[in-house]
Amino acid sequence: MAREIDILDYLPPILHEIKEIIAVAEVEKPVLEAFWQEIENTLNNQFVLTANSDGANRFEKMLKLQAGESESIETRRFRILTRYQEQAPYSYKVLKQLLDSLLGEGQYVLERNVAEKWLKVRMELTVKRQFEAAEVLLERITPQNMILTVELRYNTWGQIKQFTWGQLKSKTWGQIKEGVL
């Protein structure tokens, strides 16, 4: 709730005991609280990081983005932010800074070979929900003459061998490979 409103606080103390004034204050209270909530929502919806579903809808409409029905508000905000970050051309250093700001440092491995013209980005499983949006961003901003590969870094034997089979027996092979351990 944006703001708790007590109309009687704005009136002189002598009016606090009149039944009609108290009744009017109680009737007006929910309307004024709803009004304050709308003001707060309007202010929050001006910025991507604080936008609610209505604000995200507005940004998506402006940017011509399609939101999935089951997507969380965080994923929708991430997709909007990635679209605003698209300003090619990018140097390798700027691309690294962009990925650091969007995914977080250490949440991906970026490899490139200029001679063979390929770029590979392997994202950690912890940022799996942002994979699709990051892939679209990279496809839009990387040079078209380079082969782009975007993939998830699945768990390897080196990461799994620290666990005993007893600890892992409740998981399927897919969960072991694709889950955050």
57-94 pLDDT tens trace:
999 999 988 887 888 999 899 889 888 877 666 788 88
pLDDT at 139 over 90: no
Kindly state the average pLDDT of the residues 135-159: 82
- Classified as helix, coil or strand, 16 is helix
Range of the structural domain that residue 89 is part of: 85-178
pTM of this prediction?
0.55
d(CA 167, CA 100): 33
Domain total in the chain: 2
Domain annotation covers residue 50: no
Q: β-strands 147-153, 108-113: how paired?
A: unpaired
d(CA 101, CA 122): 16
Domain annotation covers residue 107: yes
Kindly state the average pLDDT of the residues 154-180: 68
More confident residue, 159 or 69: 69
d(CA 181, CA 177): 9
Instruction: Give yes or no: residues 27 and 90 share one domain.
Output: no
pLDDT at 173 over 70: no
13-25 pLDDT tens trace:
999 999 999 999 9
